[in-house]
Amino acid sequence: SDPASSADASTERRYAIAIEGIAALGDSAALVEAFEAESALYEGRGEPANAAQIDRRSRSDSELLAELLRSQGYYDALVEPHIDSAGDAVTVILEAEPGEQYRFESVELPGLDAAGEESNALREAFAVERGDPVIAADVIAAGVALRVALGEQGFALAEVGERQIEIDHSTRTASLVLPVEPGPLATFGEIRVSGGPPFSAN
């Protein structure tokens, strides 16, 4: 091996980080924030690192950024790491190609019609519709909101099944199915008060 190359590889240097290709995305600020929270490069950026460490972190962070892009509906996202060295200055560049953001072609809540006249209001509580981007956090939040709405509308025994999302790469769309069993509409029965409370049942 070349002694000079070995010495250079073992030299520890601080580095800067740059992300390219996502500035035009509408949710780029939130994406960068989520990336920085889990990034190996950002965690170790304050301390010098050798070439092997920087390479390992850059590859790990490339996978992280690609996964975060997929969670925002960019299922064709590609991220390539590049390391730019100029003298003692080292910049790790993560070059992203997000591709097109996938959208829902269909959103179905089978079983919700059993809620009767409350079904429309419950459907509105699930705030993901056909044409919306396939954003994982939005789907999760909509499911939580639906469960809350079911309880508020009196469906105390309601069950929300496991969501099923199918991705179609040929059309860059997705379908969402979330089974719902509202169950019976629960009502309060007779109210009884025992002991010596300060208020009566009325």
Q: How large is the average pLDDT for residues 140-145? A: 96
Q: What is the pLDDT of residue 7?
A: 41
Q: What is the pLDDT of residue 2?
A: 38
Q: What is the pLDDT of residue 3?
A: 35
Q: What is the pLDDT of residue 189?
A: 74
Burial of 174 (0-12, 13-18, 19+ CB in 10 A): buried
Q: How large is the average pLDDT for residues 33-54? A: 93
Question: How far apart (Å, rounded) are the C-alpha atoms in residues 151 and 163?
Answer: 19
200 pLDDT tier (thresholds 50, 70, 90): low
Q: In the 3-class helix/strand/coil scheme, how is 71-102 assigned residue by residue?
A: HCCCCCCEEEEEEEEECCEEEEEEEEECCCCC
pLDDT digit string (tens) for 82-118? 999 887 789 999 999 999 999 999 999 999 999 999 9
Instruction: Judge whether 180 and 160 are in contact, CB under 8 Å.
Output: yes
How crowded is the C-beta side of 193, counted as CA atoms within 13 Å? 7
**Nearest CA among 49, 47, 51, 59 for reference residue 6:** 51
Backbone angles phi, psi at 137, to 5 degrees: -60, -35
* Neighbour tally for 68: CB within 10 Å: 21
Instruction: Judge whether 134 and 102 are in contact, CB under 8 Å.
Output: yes
201 pLDDT tier (thresholds 50, 70, 90): low
10 pLDDT higher than 50 = yes
Instruction: Judge whether 163 and 142 are in contact, CB under 8 Å.
Output: no
Q: What is the pLDDT of residue 88?
A: 79
Q: For the whole model, what pTM was predicted?
A: 0.82
pLDDT digit string (tens) for 60-80? 999 999 999 999 999 999 999
What would you report as the CA-atom Rg of the chain, rounded to the nearest whole angstrom? 26
